[in-house]
Structure 1
Amino acid sequence: MKAVGFKKSLPIEEENSFIEFETEQPRPEPKDILVRIQAVSVNPVDYKIRQSAAKEALDTPKIIGWDAAGIVEDVGAEVTMFQKGDEVWYSGDLTRPGCNAEYQVVDERLVSLKPKNLNWQEAAAMPLTTLTAWECIFDRMHISRDSGEDKNILIIGGAGGVGSIAIQLLKKLTKLEVIATASRKETADWCKEIGADKVVNHYELDKELPEENSIDYILNFADTSGHWENMARLIAPEGAISCVVNTTKKVDLNLLKNKSVSFHWELMFTRPKFQTSSRIRQHEILDETRKLFESGQLKTTLEKHFEGLKAETFKEVHKLQESGESIGKNVIVF
């Protein structure tokens, strides 16, 4: 099969930052399905791994990419939920080869049927961010469905991929007031368009949200270290904070103690990486959100789509992701 990958971590402008190559088509293990990929999306995790995973040159190119939609081509001996020809969407497992290839194998417990009303690129835009947002809101912070009246939540990084679906999930499934952050007119407009009740500038949180203890929940999808003191100031007593981005310097966890604030890390790859007993939750979450998309309660956050399983295409999209100027999701259709 054809694939796109890299042998060495290089700046995206370098000729060999991505290369095209042929490799053996993978075979499904007992609980795996083999998927013929139709479209993939690119996330920050992709360029971060490309930048760090091969400081020394690899003998075999590394295939990344963990957000896909495609058609089931074959199933393992113990697969019960899918059959050949099913159209599926999923994010997958960080410890296995990614989806930047013609075919990929993935554990069926991480997959669901794709929404019937979304095309390939619209569907491929959603699994990783949807899983991340859902796990933050409902599995980590344990926000109750249909609850939250007279309470609020602040989403730092509202216009990004995760923020864009988190806003929608919160508006459709809870009664929380949703405050999103954005720093440009186009990103602020995007947050309002997808449902945010209020938009503030994340560079001016002191000015725009001056009141201490005023936020019940905080989702930080952007800069954990940079916003730490503001989060500690804003969070209400017995509130909850969930973050997805590594700290870049030491932060003072003691700032949360007096208010008995709970802090939660979220990595949607935890369940597949450690093969936790709860990894079936990813199938369940994707299947439930599939129904929300099909009923029109959620909409895809696809912003731009590109064509071709080609090194040049992946270079273009990674460069856009790394710029920090991306809104919503960027998808490559094969």
Structure 2
Amino acid sequence: MATMTAVGAFASPTIDSPEALRDVEVPLPELRPRDLLVRVEAVSVNPVDVKRRSGLSPSAEPTILGFDAAGVVHAVGSEVTSFAVGDEVWYAGDVTRQGSNAEFQAVDERIVSRKPASLGFADAAALPLTTITAWETLFERFRMTQETTGDLLVVGAAGGVGSVLIQLAKKLTGVRVIGTASRADSRRWAEQMGADAVVDHHHLREQTLHAAPYGVDFVFSPHSAGNVETYAEITRPFGHVTAIDEPEGLDLVVLKAKSIAWHWELMFTRPMFGYDMEFQGALLAEAAAMVDAGDLRTTLTTAIEGVDAEGLREAHRLVESGRMVGKVVVHR
């Protein structure tokens, strides 16, 4: 049986435990008809990786985490039509399958595109998951177009999704973007991404209403716990909120008086249910064209060499700190 190296995640109390992430040898993935076998050159670590790792149940079998990836097609399934061996690709993966923290990964061609030619593997790996999340938020949840105006509040503007959301909103819509950040470095980053104004999330109500006295039209929310009442106050009647988190006991009734719509965004929905999967491949191809045209920039801020347990443990620590600006990528 052919094998490969990978980083296995196991149930453990903290990331500092030697068992949390461990270098392992596992079978090479078997390809489904529409699969690509990608030699992984770079991966980024997202909050979802940390969340999944911390929620693992005890098991002798490793879980291979990792979603964002950039690499080279090594082999193709029997029904693949869009890619060939040697193609350089990027993608965000499928939460129902083993991930990208490995030497090779099997991924359905429909959620893959060729990576931007102007980016190396590390810079490219920073973008897929956050770009899909931001794109689906703006153009599917909020139904924005180039003609859309109004005010968009991006909570966590210096984070991975926020960084891309700002760029896409400024390039592809007519909205004014207000980002939230509290530290000097995160405020600077949000401004570099294109935010028209930056407010302190510790004073969200007061500073948002100072920046937008009549309220905002759209809110992107990665941190919804404790903020719903504030969203009700700062959002205009018939406004929209899109959340990517799922805090327990979330009560949305306070939004009813203003008929504020609450949307959920999960970029894994399409691959999880095999629904309209080609959309994500096409989305990434369009994003790659934007990168190569200079209209979308990488959000990589920290690069760590070594797609192994040591490198990924360091990346998980950075994401867990809650102080990351942009994205951390681990590369070969």
Q: TM-score, normalised by structure 2?
A: 0.96
Partner of 1:305: 303
Q: Equivalent residue for 1:233?
A: 233
Q: Does 1:65 align with 2:43?
A: no
Q: Which residue is equivalent to 1:167?
A: 166
CA contact (8 A) 2:87 2:114 kept: yes
Classify 1:228/1:202 alpha carbon distance in 2 versus 1 (closer, same or farther; 3 Å). Answer: same
Cα distance in 1 for partners of 2:197, 2:93 equals: 34
Aligned AA (1:258): A
**Is residue 2:283 matched to residue 1:280?**
no
CA distance in 2, matches of 1:158, 1:129: 12
Note if 1:181 corresponds to 2:184. no
CA contact (8 A) 2:166 2:195 kept: yes
Instruction: Spell out, residue by residue over 1:214-239, the C-alpha distance to the aligned partner (whole angstroms, 9 max, x if none).
Output: 10111112x11221111111111111
Matching residue's letter, 1:154: L
Letter in 2 for 1:84: V
Contact 2:10/2:56, CA 8 A, preserved across alignment:
no
The answer to whether 1:28 aligns with 2:27 is: no
**AA in 1 matched with 2:225:** S
* CA positional deviation for 1:309: 2.2
Q: 1:250 & 1:273 partners in 2: Cα distance?
A: 24
**How far 1:213 sits from its partner (Å)?**
5.1
Aligned pairs (5 A) from 1:1-334 = 1-54=4-57, 56=58, 58-144=59-145, 146-149=146-149, 151-210=150-209, 214-221=215-222, 223-251=223-251, 253-276=252-275, 278-334=276-332
Deviations 1:178-227 (A, max 9, x none): 00000101100100011000000011012212377510111112x11221
RMSD: 1.2
Amino acid at match of 1:48: K
Percent of counterpart pairs with the same letter?
A: 44
TM-score (norm 1): 0.95
The aligned amino acid for 2:284 is L
Contact 1:213 1:233 in 2 (8 A): no
Q: Gapped runs of 5+ residues in structure 2?
A: none
Q: Tell me the matched-pair count.
A: 327
In the TM superposition, structure 1's runs of 4+ consecutive aligned residues that sit over 4 Å from their partners are none
Structure 1 unaligned runs (5+)? Answer: none
Q: Distance in 2 between matches of 1:260 and 1:105?
A: 44
